[in-house]
Structure 1
Amino acid sequence: MADRVTPEPQRRRRRPTKQGTVLSEHIIVDTALRLVGLHGAQALTVRRLGAALGADPSAIYRYFRSTDDLLLAIADELIGRAQHGWQSTGDWRADLRAIGLRIHSAYLAHPQAALLAAHRTTGRDHEILAVESILGVLRSAGFPDPEAVRIYHALVDQSLAFAALDAAALALPAPAQAADLGVWQSRYARLDPGSHPNIAATAELLTADMRRSGYPFALALLLDAIAARLPDRSAERGRPSE
């Protein structure tokens, strides 16, 4: 896809496509998400996207400079979906937990797209709003700015890393998913307690736990660590008078 784009005022397509749709950035991104979900990364081409939209592929250049520009828009759309409906409660821990779980869930709803987009920085509206919101939660809780930035970094990287890991598992063909999970029962659960006493002692627990994402517990651990770093604001104000 060439690195060229139509100026903003000229972008809107005045005539509907063959399918009766008036193109927009949102429609293109939504269609791209659907194609990637069905066919993987190879579906992200101008030709296939144009065919799905019922439009000449060149019409997409009115909205995106390149496939990478489109990919960034897809990444930003996933971030936007994670934020949709979220409102701060004023409880920093509850707010960060909700944000983390929303990010993870939004990417897992589109595992093929998550593999392409979880590691990208978009600089677009939804991402900017997410950064602003998370930093706002942390600064309002009383974290100094350097600490707020480091916690933001750790929180977002953790959620996206788990999203990419879990998305990769979901993107596997069903037989491969089943085979991977079956290893815990067929191999680990049968190890000799004499040579592998720790695995043998916990094999049943391992088999059950490895069937679900480790993210919610990892997030709880991170939030515990964050809480331990929260400045004691009562100490800063001085001890209350007796």
Structure 2
Amino acid sequence: MPAEARRARGERAGLTRERILDAAVDLVDREGLKALTMRRLGAALGVEAMTLYHHVPNKDALLDGLVERVFAGAAPVEDATAGWRPWLRAYAGALRTTLLGHPGVLPLAAARPAVTPAALDAVERGLRVLTAAGFPLGRALHALNSLTLLVVSHATAECALATPDTPGSAGELAALDPDRYPLTAEAARTGAGTDDAERFAFAVEALITGFGAEAGV
């Protein structure tokens, strides 16, 4: 009997949910989210698609698992001595790094809520940090969600601007009429305000400062 048939009949080829999610991330990184099907994923793992259902019950569960991989890996372990501000900075930085490393997952991060236990564990860690610092629960959730949306949106914009044929390139901006757009032209010429990492850190710090002022902590 061929090896593929034996696997399809229950050997599962040493599969685990973690291995399946790793392969799914690799496939999305290489070929994009539209390429992710159970059949394609099974082929990448050397098994029949039906074998995957022992570990992920359906396509939605697979997509939820990809969201989990993004957010669970970005949430630091709580450190009561470090404070909520460093925790949020570390979370934002780790999430941006993860998303930029896996741009194919960005549409999922923007559209799908955290629903798996591991993803919800990450949310719970953030809420514990913020409520322990004095945030009311509702404000804590607003802060965590707002920061997450900033990171996802910023990473999405960074990936889009990295595409060679993206309109509005630095060269086009540098060619602006300096009499009509003196400040914009100067920024394009000197690079002021164009560094992605600098802009990201500025935005994160502004949000964190506002969170503290609004919550009185």
TM, length-normalised to structure 2:
0.83
Within the candidate set 156, 160, 164, 1:164 is matched to 156
Mapped pair 1:121 → 2:117: no
The amino acid that maps onto 1:218 is A
Q: Mapping of 1:1-242 within 5 angstroms? A: 15=11, 17=13, 22-83=14-75, 86-88=77-79, 89-170=81-162, 172=163, 175-176=164-165, 183-184=169-170, 186-205=171-190, 207=191, 209-213=193-197, 214-231=199-216
Three-state SS of the structure 2 residue aligned to 1:37 is: helix
1:44/1:67 contact within 8 Å kept? no
Q: Deviations over 1:81-139 (max 9, x none)?
A: 213x6442431111111111111111211111223333211311222112111111111
Query: 2:29 & 2:160 partners in 1: Cα distance?
Result: 13
1:139/1:148 contact within 8 Å kept? yes
- Higher deviation after alignment, 150-159 or 128-137: 150-159
Where structure 2 has 5 or more consecutive residues not aligned to the other structure, the ranges are 1-8
Report the Cα offset of residue 169 of structure 1: 4.2
Larger Rg: 1
1:50/1:60 contact within 8 Å kept? yes
Where structure 1 has 5 or more consecutive residues not aligned to the other structure, the ranges are 1-12, 233-242
Query: 1:168 & 1:199 partners in 2: Cα distance?
Result: 21
Q: Deviations over 1:130-171 (max 9, x none)?
A: 21111111111112233223222212222222233334445x
Find the counterpart in structure 1 of residue 6 from structure 2: none
> Which segments of structure 1 move beyond 4 Å, counting only runs of 4 or more?
none
Query: 2:167 & 2:77 partners in 1: Cα distance?
Result: 35
Query: 1:230 & 1:116 partners in 2: Cα distance?
Result: 30
Structure 2 CA distance for partners of 1:133 and 1:23, relative to 1, 3 Å: same
% identical equivalent positions = 31
Three-state SS of the structure 2 residue aligned to 1:33 is: helix
2:78/2:129 contact within 8 Å kept? no
TM, length-normalised to structure 1:
0.76
The number of aligned residues is: 207
Three-state SS of the structure 2 residue aligned to 1:187 is: helix
Query: 1:73 & 1:220 partners in 2: Cα distance?
Result: 30
The amino acid that maps onto 1:231 is G
